Structure 1
């Protein structure tokens, strides 16, 4: 398996807008991607950072998703979210 890991800066004053976009679009669209296994969207209120992990069954599926996310950063910016780190990694173990 492979995962796409992101760290994002979020404008806390737009949190309601971000949560609505997350639930209405980001999560269902990610879950519908080919090879999707699991996903986690997390927020650290102390730092204003959001952390994401989306796991896919194969490297090509993860790479396609990473490329899609890299192209969608303008949409995220419209709700006050900017990417700090976006990486594709191999999953070494899971429980």
Structure 2
């Protein structure tokens, strides 16, 4: 699957024409979640669907955490019911401050 041209600026370090959106979907999803603007993110959810995008995010979130912390914190709101604490334990999504 060829990616639309308006995504090319996100992949300036790569040969954009060689990226297959189907084979490299995890790479594409993580890149757009991290660097994409509103139009690019809308395309991402229309193309791959919220379920697949969420699965890729969760795999990274609970795994190697390759996404930048700022992106993880933003998308955590959308996809994670019980966020990880700094020590890796689960904590309630919303909690009172004391």
TM-score, normalised relative to structure 2: 0.27
Higher share in helix: 2
- With the length of structure 1 as denominator, give the TM-score of the two structures: 0.27
By relative contact order (CA 8 Å, sep 6+), the higher-ranking structure is: 1
